[in-house]
């Protein structure tokens, strides 16, 4: 079966569905803490910007919707963290040298450490 491209009306409808996905205050604080942690690592020259929070929020809402929910859970944020942050972090020169040829592995490690250091809401 061949799929056809989405039209403007369908895209608008899906955007509205994503924007209507509920995010609790606890989840919002969790996201902000995750983003802030990327700026606290000693291996990072430049961490994720506060503006990244809005992109992150949209992504986790979309993930919740894809998974059949109209609300976000901490697992949505955990699932999206690496994919959303891996290209937004700039390593400092020491971390670049230490990483050798595995820059992306080092970035994933830093994101993992940051994620594990932030307690998710219950």
Give pLDDT, residue 86: 85
Cβ proximity of 103 and 96 under 8 Å: yes
pLDDT tens track, the chain, 122 positions: 688 888 999 999 999 999 999 999 999 999 999 999 888 888 889 988 888 999 999 999 999 999 999 999 999 999 999 888 888 888 888 888 888 888 888 888 888 888 889 999 98
**Concatenated DSSP letters for 53-112?**
HHHHHHHHHHHHHHTT-SB--HHHHHHHHHHHHTTT-EE-HHHHHHHTT-HHHHHHHHHH
Helices (H) and strands (E) in the chain, counts: 6, 2
What the chain holds in terms of domains, given with CATH numbers, is 20-117 (1.10.8.80)
Reading phi first (left if > 0) and then psi (alpha if -120 to 50, else beta), residue 21 is in beta
pTM: 0.84
Give pLDDT, residue 11: 92
């Amino acid at each position: 079966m061949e799929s056809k491209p989405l039209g403007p009306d369908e895209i608008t409808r899906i955007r509205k569905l994503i924007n209507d996905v509920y995010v609790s205050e606890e989840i919002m604080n969790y996201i902000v803490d995750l983003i802030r942690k990327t700026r606290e690592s000693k291996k990072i020259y430049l961490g994720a910007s506060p503006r990244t929070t809005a992109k992150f929020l949209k992504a986790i809402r979309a993930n919740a919707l894809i998974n059949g929910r109209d609300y976000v859970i901490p697992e949505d944020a955990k699932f999206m963290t690496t994919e959303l942050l891996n290209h937004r972090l700039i390593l400092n020169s020491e971390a670049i040298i230490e990483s050798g040829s595995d820059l992306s592995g080092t970035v994933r490690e830093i994101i993992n450490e940051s994620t594990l250091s932030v307690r998710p809401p219950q």
